[in-house]
Amino acid sequence: MDFSVSYAHLSDEVAVVRVVGTVDVHRAPRVREVLTGRVDHGRSLVIVDMRQTASLDATGLGVLVGCQKRVRARRGALVVVTRQEGVLRQFRSTGMARVLPVRPTVAQAVAELARVRPGILLHPLDPDGESVQIL
């Protein structure tokens, strides 16, 4: 599976970062770069769409935890979206499932962010509630 990281802005506060492929020690810096860039440009509510992420190592988990700290410092939140068993297994085995919120759909992640920041205004998702235009 090829590796890519892309993003879309759902509002002035909300970014969706899509990660495709395997996140390991060699690819985690690119994920960190995109996530930090979104937060540094004012997106304090971040959805990390890992529905097409095959696996995630400890370095990748560290990137997510680091980003979560960064958004929390800005009174924001980070939510991971995945149904991939390999990624979920890594979250469960390391205890990160208790630290980072994981939801199965983008729509549920958006709802989670709305609980954190009531009244956020978002660009609409596609009719399926799962697709956003990724840049």
* pLDDT of 114: 87
Return the amino acid letter for 114.
Answer: A
pLDDT digits (tens, 9 = 90+) for 56-113: 999 999 999 999 999 999 999 999 999 999 999 999 999 999 999 999 999 899 889 9
Residue 39 and residue 78 in contact, taking contact as beta carbons nearer than 8 Å: no
The CA-based angle 93-5-30, given to 5 degrees, is 80
Residue 64 and residue 102 in contact, taking contact as beta carbons nearer than 8 Å: no
pLDDT digits (tens, 9 = 90+) for 117-134: 887 766 555 555 555 544
Domain-wise residue ranges, the chain? 4-115
Residue 20 has pLDDT above 70, yes or no: yes
Name the band, by pLDDT with cuts 50, 70 and 90, for residue 43. Answer: very high
Q: List C-alpha distances in Å: 27 to 34, 42, 59, 70.
A: 12, 24, 9, 20
Q: State the DSSP string of 26-81.
A: TTHHHHHHHHHHHHHTT--EEEEEEEEEEEE-HHHHHHHHHHHHHHHHTT-EEEEE
Tokens of 71: 């958004």
Distance, CA of 56 to CA of 21 (rounded, Å):
9
* pLDDT of 10: 86
Superfamily of domain 4-115: STAS domain (3.30.750.24)
The whole-number average pLDDT for the span 7-16 is: 91
